[in-house]
Amino acid sequence: MGHHEEDPHPAGYTPMVAPEQAELIRRWHERAYQAARAEAAAEQTFTYLGTTLVVPPQVQPITGMSHLLGEAVLAEVRAGDRVLDMGTGSGVNAILAASTAKQVLAVDINPVAVEAARGNAERNGVADRVEVRLSDVFADVDGRFDLIVFDPPFRWFAPRDLLEAATTDENYRAMTSFFRQAREHLTPAGRMLIFFGSSGDLAYLRHLMDEQGFDVEVVARQELTRDGRSVGYYTFRLT
Ligand SMILES: C[S@@+](CC[C@H](N)C(=O)[O-])C[C@H]1O[C@@H](n2cnc3c(N)ncnc32)[C@H](O)[C@@H]1O
């Protein structure tokens, strides 16, 4: 095996969390993935913040933490905004944004999510304002946006299937390239809403936000205790 194949961090990512924390996160991830697979055996329907969302098995469902981002989207979006929902999943945040925004582009790398988001935009009467497209991060995204929303996969392990790829992004390839290209897709006064938790490598997210020179404020947060440890979920507003 050549040196390249032995490199444990091919994307240049080295965990910034301590090894014990990384191990704990790996265990939490496995448990959450097994639970998600069991729950996602069939299509699920959610009634959430005034929307009705049908979510197939291979797409990220609405969770107990979704509202931390969803309510922030409703509070942030303005009538004239052109909005990008990166990693749209069920289309949830694109649909919430479309309650106010002029135009929304929703993208995902998961073709099942793209179909689901289109169906949900239709179901919620906003299909005229929401375009859904398959894209690997910004690869098929053009133009600039007043507001970009992203709830990235929190973990950095290799995913085994599409559903797992909603919660883990190997070596944070997608999240890293997202932050390194975000500025060129924002208008001068553009804002971003990013959702993340300490069940991911929060220090690495902070590093990416700092590296790109964003001003960051926390607009929503919730703490819970898991295995005797505190886990925090945060909606960050970046300008
Ligand atoms: C945590 S889920 C969030 C889904 C949805 N926004 C929500 O809030 O329920 C992350 C989403 O990012 C998508 N994703 C992962 N890697 C991506 C990439 N390289 N490009 C675009 N989307 C990606 C996943 O398919 C998934 O739908």
Q: For the chain, how many structural domains are there in total? A: 1
208 CB burial (10 A radius; 0-12, 13-18, 19+): middle
Best residue for ligand 1 mutational test, from 33, 92, 110 (most atoms within 8 Å of Cβ): 110
Cα of 60 from ligand 1 centre, angstroms:
8
Q: Given this model, what pLDDT does residue 174 score?
A: 97
Cα–ligand 1 centroid distance for 79 (angstroms): 25
Distance from the alpha carbon of residue 19 to the mean position of ligand 1, in angstroms: 26
The CA distance from 197 to 236, in Å, is 10
151 lines ligand 1 (CB under 6 A): yes
* Beta-sheet pairing, 229-238 with 216-226: antiparallel
CA 44–ligand 1 middle distance (angstroms): 18
Q: How far apart are CA 14 and CA 202, in angstroms?
A: 13
Q: Determine, yes or no, domain membership for 8.
A: no
Tell me the per-residue pLDDT of 53-91, one tens digit each, with 9 for 90 and over. 999 999 999 999 999 999 999 999 999 999 999 999 999
Residue 49 lies in a domain: yes
Residue at 5 is within a domain: no
> Would the CB of 94 count as within 6 Å of ligand 1?
no
Tell me which residue has tokens 């479309």: 98
The distance of Cα 98 from the centroid of its chain, to the nearest Å, equals 18
- Residue 4 is predicted with a pLDDT of 42
Atom of ligand 1 nearest to the CA of 137: 20
Please identify every stretch of the chain with a pLDDT value under 50, giving residue numbers as ranges: 1-10
Residue 4 within a domain: no
Cβ of 61 closer than 6 Å to ligand 1, yes or no, is no
Identify whether 6 is part of a domain.
Answer: no
Residue 3 lies in a domain: no
Q: Which residues contact 78 (CB under 8 A, 6 or more apart)?
A: 100, 101, 146, 147
Angle formed by the axes of helices 202-211 and 173-182, nearest 10°: 20
pLDDT at 58: 94
Ligand 1, atom nearest to 62 Cα: 9
Of 88, 157, 179, 181, the one to substitute when testing ligand 1's pocket (max ligand atoms within 8 A of C-beta) is 88
CA 232/CA 202 separation, integer angstroms? 10
Q: Flag whether 7 is in a domain.
A: no
Tell whether 204 is covered by a domain. yes
Question: How far away, in angstroms, is 70 Cα from ligand 1 center?
Answer: 15
> pTM of the entire structure?
0.94
Range of the domain at 160: 13-238
Determine the 3-state secondary structure of 148 from DSSP.
strand
59 Cα nearest atom in ligand 1: 27
The enclosing domain of 186 has a CATH number of 3.40.50.150
Virtual torsion, Cα 106, 111, 69, 236, nearest 10 deg: -80
